[in-house]
């Protein structure tokens, strides 16, 4: 029996892991559509590297839904079309091309956290659990029957990076284990509507990572860990400028909201119900880890000392 075939649209570390899972399941990948790796994305191995090592044709996809791409995939006549952390919404006409269906891997426990950046948003919202979901694609975002899910616990100090690594491992295994049932038609499908109401979050904008002294300590910490390195970091904005909070932890020491002080834990910054102990600030291209440097930066930005 010939191996099932697929066209894959993928990006990110999760996309690379899912592609590994697909290859491990014995699927012949006819083509990969992906994106060029950005200068701030060098922390992961992109799907392109894996595909080229496997002899899979690679196509960069600045405009995936154009007519030429549609005709090329139609000519390949794949059994499957997979989307693994692809950036574009794939048009409905593409979904009718594969004989055995089109499926998307999403980084949440659908129907919750549909949309963009789900792993960042679950951290911002302080969730204790998330997951990855493989589901049938429809023209609507993150819609369609669920065919497999894996649950992921979220540690109290989880960051976007550590959670992304968890999601990549889970996605690899989920794809590898689910493909045989997709091929023989025995997979169990779950209508998302039977699992309760959906929630949707859009792509994160820079302003979404702003820290406000009216936040609770937990809310501020959630912001920090949701966009910790290699993401662009949470930030404080004052009339004198901005400083990024690369890392901080809830502090035992007290400090009035909107003030900072030196404590045994280092520089602590006051929020509505407590303080964060600063571990690293970024001022422009400079990373500040010494308490004296951090205190000077905060004073220069107009943050008062308690």
Which residues lie below 8 Å from residue 211, measured CB to CB, with a gap of 6+?
220, 223, 224, 234, 235, 236, 245
What is the average pLDDT across 99-118? Answer: 97
Final residue in a domain of this structure, among 135, 166, 201: 201
Say what the pLDDT of residue 271 is.
Answer: 98
Residue where a domain terminates, one of 149, 183, 201: 201
The verdict on 126 and 43 lying in the same domain is yes
Range of the domain at 113: 5-201
pLDDT at 2: 85
* Alpha helices (H) along the chain: 12-24, 47-53, 67-76, 92-95, 118-124, 160-184, 217-226, 291-300
Average the pLDDT over 109-113 and give the result. Answer: 98
pLDDT digits (tens, 9 = 90+) for 146-167: 999 999 999 999 999 999 999 9
306 part of a folded domain: no
Task: Tell me whether residue 250 is in a domain.
Answer: yes
Indicate whether 106 belongs to any domain: yes
Residue 234 lies in a domain: yes
Is 127 in the same domain as 57? yes
* Mean of per-residue pLDDT scores for the chain: 96
Asked if 15 and 58 sit in the same domain, the reply is yes
CATH of residue 148: 3.40.50.170
**Number of structural domains in the chain:** 2
In a domain, 187, yes or no: yes
Examine the domain organization and report whether 295 and 222 are in the same domain. Answer: yes
Cβ neighbors of 14 (< 8 A, separation 6 or more) are 84, 85, 105, 107, 132, 164, 167, 168, 171
Backbone angles phi, psi at 177, to 5 degrees: -80, -25
Instruction: Using pLDDT thresholds of 50, 70 and 90, give the confidence band for residue 62.
Output: confident
Which residues, in sequence order, are CB contacts of 52 under 8 Å at separation 6+?
A: 58
Residue 305 lies in a domain: no
Domain of 220: which CATH number? 3.10.25.10
| Whether residue 121 is found in the same domain as residue 222 | no
Q: Kindly report the pTM of this predicted structure.
A: 0.95
Let me know whether 82 and 56 are in one domain.
Answer: yes
Q: Do both 188 and 122 map to the same domain?
A: yes
Residues 37 and 153 in one domain: yes
Q: Percentage of the chain with pLDDT > 90?
A: 97
Same domain, yes or no: 83 and 190:
yes
Tens digits of residue pLDDT in 120-145: 999 999 999 999 999 999 999 999 99
Residue 239 falls within a domain, yes or no? yes
Over 90: is that where the pLDDT of 286 sits? Answer: yes
Residue 1 has pLDDT above 70, yes or no: no
74: helix, coil or strand?
helix
Within a domain: 41:
yes
Token output for 98: 């594969």
Same domain as 40, residue 149: yes
Q: Are residues 213 and 176 in the same domain?
A: no
Q: Which of 201, 219, 245 is the last residue of a domain?
A: 201
Q: Do both 197 and 210 map to the same domain?
A: no
In the chain, what is the greatest distance between 2 CA atoms, to the nearest angstrom?
A: 73
């Amino acid at each position: 029996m010939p191996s099932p075939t697929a066209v894959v649209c993928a990006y990110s570390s999760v996309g690379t892991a899912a592609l590994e899972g697909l290859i491990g399941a014995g699927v012949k990948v006819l083509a990969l559509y992906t994106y060029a790796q950005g200068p701030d994305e060098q922390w992961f191995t992109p799907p392109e590297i894996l595909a080229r090592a496997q002899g899979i044709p690679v196509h960069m996809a600045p405009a995936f839904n154009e007519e030429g791409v549609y005709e090329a995939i139609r000519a390949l006549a794949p059994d499957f079309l997979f989307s693994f952390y692809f950036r574009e919404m794939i048009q409905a006409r593409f979904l009718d091309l594969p004989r055995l269906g089109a499926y998307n891997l999403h980084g949440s426990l659908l129907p919750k956290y549909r949309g963009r950046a789900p792993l960042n948003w679950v951290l911002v919202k302080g969730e204790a659990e998330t997951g990855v979901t493989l589901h049938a694609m429809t023209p609507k975002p993150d819609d369609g029957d669920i065919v497999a899910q894996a649950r992921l616990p979220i540690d109290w100090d989880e960051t976007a990076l550590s959670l992304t690594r968890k999601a990549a491992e889970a996605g690899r295994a989920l794809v590898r284990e689910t493909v045989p049932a997709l091929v023989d038609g025995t997979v169990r499908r779950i209508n998302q509507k039977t699992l309760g109401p959906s929630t949707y979050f859009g792509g994160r904008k820079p302003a979404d990572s702003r820290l406000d002294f009216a936040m609770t300590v937990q809310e501020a910490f959630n912001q920090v860990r949701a966009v910790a390195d290699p993401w662009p970091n949470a930030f404080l904005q004052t009339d004198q400028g901005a400083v990024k909070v690369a890392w901080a932890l809830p502090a035992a020491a007290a400090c009035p909201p909107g003030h900072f002080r030196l404590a045994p834990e280092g520089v602590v910054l006051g929020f509505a119900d407590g303080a964060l102990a600063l571990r690293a600030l970024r001022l422009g291209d400079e990373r500040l880890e010494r308490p004296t440097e951090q205190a000077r930066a905060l004073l220069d930005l107009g943050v008062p000392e308690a």
